[in-house]
Structure 1
Amino acid sequence: MTWIGAAAPYGQRRLAGLDRHLTEAAGDLFAHDDRLRGIAVDVRFDGGVAHLTGDVSDNKDLLLVRRLIGRLDGVLAVWSRVRVGGRDPVVLDIGCGGVKQYPGNVGVDLLPASGVDVLADLAYGLPFADRSVDVIFAVHVLEHLIDFLALIDECHRVLRPDGVLHVLSPWWRHVNAVADPTHVRLLDLQTIKGICRRPGSPLRWYPLHAGCDGASVFADLTPLGEHDHGPDDAHLARFFD
């Protein structure tokens, strides 16, 4: 699997079948939806996670692809390394250790390892300028931090307005959540909802996608500006109870 450490409860045969189904459904979208004609984005599925690559001229095209792919039944998350306007995205992989989600990501971790490019203690912030990053992967990170909201706020600070934070953490009811003694927090989809509608915080998030496969919680979040409209109840109902 591309994502590390999320042992889904489904068998490999079922996951492979799901990925084949999603590949066919995405192919139908690109073949028959006129809105997608001429958009040079490729989609690959791995365990229900959509991986987007390619080139688009405008971020609106990428957002359209993300939105339509995310509507397919069975998609857990939509991850992207798409070039926009001829520019490669700046992608951080925080807490990556020796394994990055994509080889070209900038690995950030406390201790040196083969995948780490920048040494930093995530509990004390991210050593990057405001609005300088396109994508952040936080894969099996939040559950290790007592106060992960401070890190979430740092992600909000360094992401560009159209940037995306990808979260992947063990679901609180699965054994993976409690089997690792270094896990100090438990997460659910409702945790993601709480992050998006955090009382008293000026830093808000819009959920592009969220899902749970019975073992892990997935979320794709984009930062909202001070005057941006937040998600309405109908949008939140897609992902949260």
Structure 2
Amino acid sequence: MTWIGGAAPHGGRRMGALDRHLTESVHDLLAHDDRLRGVAVDVRFDGGVAHLGGDLRDGKELLLVRRLIGRLAGVLAVWSRVRVGGREPVILDLGSGEIKQYPPNIGVDRRPATGVDVRADLTDGLPFADRSADAIFAVHVLEHLIDYLPLVDECHRVLRPDGVLHVLSPWWRYVNAVADPTHVRLLDVQTIKGICARPGSPLRWYPLHAGCDGASVFGDLAPLAEQEPGPDDAHLARFFD
């Protein structure tokens, strides 16, 4: 098959080697970067996604770890289930079905399944209080919704100020994006850019990370307060045209 306009998805052998390389790079970072000295965080990679665990002192420390690991070439996203200040995080897993990204997450879906803790139709909003979640996973969800922006806005409402929305959807040029007849929207990395700053919308996002592996689009987005400054051009140039 010829891949037009982007790289082919990494094969299992190459991705495994890349994960090992990234793991070694992070271990070097934790051992030799004075800013991370004494930070109690565990890091593993799976398919180019960094998974963070452990205990951190506060949200600023978690943001620093995310930022430094996210700068490494080859990292597609930085996901975490880290205890901050001794508190277990509240993480929502939208459209979870039977499989949650982390078992303790709160699975949200309209149909009953083993991984569903709260039944709700995502098109009707999220049945959670303002600023009540530390992270929200929208993994293989947005492509199933004709209008997913109201759901994105709901995530903005529910996330705490230092929270993160994790988006993962099929890349529009990958065959799986169109092979599933229940997919009604196509996404690209540039779509993530459009979500972050929509004309006419007061709700903005800061892209902590965005990427594409030739099969899927990844986005790690932090909600911005109304008067909070957005990313500068140098930061945006890392991810977007």
- After TM superposition, is the score higher than 0.5? yes
Matched residue of 2:167: which SS?
A: strand
Structure 2: distance between partners of 1:132 and 1:186: 30
- Code of the aligned partner of 1:125: G
1:197 to partner: Cα distance: 1.3
What whole-Å deviation, never above 9, does each CA across 1:53-100 have from its counterpart, x for those lacking one?
Answer: 000111111000000000011000000000001100000000011100
Per the alignment, residue 207 of structure 1 pairs with: 207
- Code of the aligned partner of 1:68: L
What whole-Å deviation, never above 9, does each CA across 1:198-236 have from its counterpart, x for those lacking one?
Answer: 101001000000000000000000000011001111111
Matched residue of 2:15: which SS?
A: helix
Aligned length: 234
The answer to whether structure 1 residue 15 and structure 2 residue 3 are counterparts is no
Per the alignment, residue 195 of structure 1 pairs with: 195
- Code of the aligned partner of 2:149: L
Structure 2: distance between partners of 1:198 and 1:34: 38
1:1-241 equivalences under 5 Å are 9-241=9-241
What whole-Å deviation, never above 9, does each CA across 1:131-163 have from its counterpart, x for those lacking one?
Answer: 000000000000000010000000000000000
Question: Where does the alignment leave 5 or more consecutive residues of structure 2 unmatched?
Answer: 1-7
- Is the CA contact (8 Å cut-off) linking 2:197 and 2:203 kept in structure 1? no
Structure 2: distance between partners of 1:159 and 1:59: 14
- Code of the aligned partner of 2:74: G
- Superposition CA RMSD, Å: 0.7
1:128 to partner: Cα distance: 0.1
Structure 1: distance between partners of 2:155 and 2:53: 23
Per the alignment, residue 3 of structure 2 pairs with: none
User: Percent of pairs identical after alignment?
Assistant: 81
- Code of the aligned partner of 1:77: A
TM-score, normalised via structure 1 length: 0.96
- Code of the aligned partner of 1:185: R
Structure 2: distance between partners of 1:27 and 1:39: 12
Structure 1: distance between partners of 2:201 and 2:193: 14
What whole-Å deviation, never above 9, does each CA across 1:146-203 have from its counterpart, x for those lacking one?
Answer: 0100000000000000000000000000001000000000000110000011101001
Structure 2: distance between partners of 1:115 and 1:184: 24
- Code of the aligned partner of 2:124: Y
Structure 2: distance between partners of 1:134 and 1:218: 18
Question: Where does the alignment leave 5 or more consecutive residues of structure 1 unmatched?
Answer: 1-7
- Code of the aligned partner of 2:113: A
Q: Which runs of 4+ in 1 moved over 2 A?
A: none
